[in-house]
Amino acid sequence: MTLPTTSGPAILRAEHLGRIVNSKILLEDATFEVRVGEILAIIGPSGSGKSSLLRLLNRLDEPTSGTVYLEGTDYRQIVPRELRRKLGMVTQRAFLFPGTVASNLRFGPAQRGETLSDDSVEKLLEQVGLKGYASRDVANLSGGEAQRVSVARTLANSPFLLLLDEPTSALDDASKQGVEHLIQNIVRHQNLTCVLVTHDVAQASRLAQRALFLQSGRIVRAGPIDEVLNA
């Protein structure tokens, strides 16, 4: 199914994207686009292919059919490391590396030979509401704090599109609300584009402008969030 085109330039376009592993269809014939500055929610029941789709967008898995165009370029023509830097990913669990908060934030830029200054680290932490946390050991962070560090670590790579895979599903209600506000603020103030995978329909309704509804690896509904949720 194809998401209807509306105004606004597309930053990313998936065309007939699919992945089949050992005869099992994880995703089939997904065609849609993501527009600059929007939050696109991908919703659907467990096992419907939401996370598989996000992994394909970041090329952590290889499509068995179709491809993705990033700003008009087939993403197979882009060096995977550069592609992943541009499409920052935040996962359900933070997966912080052992060490300090600052060392986690410096990880991404260090892969390109860049050193993130102390000031830049502080600015990033301020953005995610963790000012003064730079020297803290990640082992001592709460779940909500760890997820905020994970977001800051992704932002340290200066991505222009964020892929969020159930970023609040492992958090309590208070932390969940905090991370939701954080996502809204980041998208609004940095003009970032966002693809949000969530099983939480209410969250999708609060955050996203448009949505794709997946079922058994296929997009069965697509369009403005209200239309998709009320169909």
Partner 1 sequence: MLKLIFHNELGLGLAQAGAAALAAVVVVLLARKRSIHLESETVIAMVRGLVQIVAVGSILVLLLRGPRWTSVFLLAAMIVAAGATSARRAKGMPQAFRVSAWSIAAGAGSIIALMTWLGVIDTAITSLVPVGSMLIANAMNTNGLALNRFRSDILSHVGEVETALALGAAGTRSVEPYVQASFEASLIPAIDSLRSLGIVWIPGLMAGMLLSGSRPVYAAIYQFVVLAMIFAASGLTAFVSTILIRERIFTSAEQLLLQPGR
What does the binding site for partner 1 look like in residue numbers (CB under 8 A)?
21, 58-62, 76, 80-82, 84-85, 88-89, 91, 93, 95, 97, 107-108, 111-112, 153-154, 157
**Least separation in angstroms between CB 202 and partner 1:** 27
**Least separation in angstroms between CB 228 and partner 1:** 27
Tell me whether residue 5 or residue 111 sits nearer to partner 1 (CB atom): 111
Bin 29: left if φ > 0, else alpha if -120 < ψ < 50, else beta.
left
| H/E segment holding residue 149 | helix 143-155
**Within a 10 A sphere around the Cβ of 4, how many other Cβ atoms?**
12
**Least separation in angstroms between CB 95 and partner 1:** 4
**Least separation in angstroms between CB 82 and partner 1:** 7
Residue for token pair 């830097």? 85
**Least separation in angstroms between CB 85 and partner 1:** 4
Q: How far is the CA of 208 from the CAs of 29, 41, 83, 86, 120, in angstroms?
A: 23, 6, 24, 21, 29
- C-alpha 106: how far from its chain's center? 19
DSSP 199: S
**Least separation in angstroms between CB 141 and partner 1:** 15
**Within a 10 A sphere around the Cβ of 131, how many other Cβ atoms?**
11
Tell me whether residue 60 or residue 231 sits nearer to partner 1 (CB atom): 60
Tell me whether residue 147 or residue 211 sits nearer to partner 1 (CB atom): 147
Tell me whether residue 16 or residue 112 sits nearer to partner 1 (CB atom): 112
**Least separation in angstroms between CB 42 and partner 1:** 17
Are the C-beta atoms of residues 154 and 146 closer than 8 Å to each other? Answer: no
Are the C-beta atoms of residues 223 and 230 closer than 8 Å to each other? Answer: no
21/65 Cα distance (integer angstroms):
12
Beta strands per DSSP E along the chain:
10-21, 24-35, 39-43, 65-70, 73-74, 87-90, 161-165, 193-197, 210-215, 218-224
30/134 Cα distance (integer angstroms):
41
Tell me whether residue 162 or residue 219 sits nearer to partner 1 (CB atom): 162
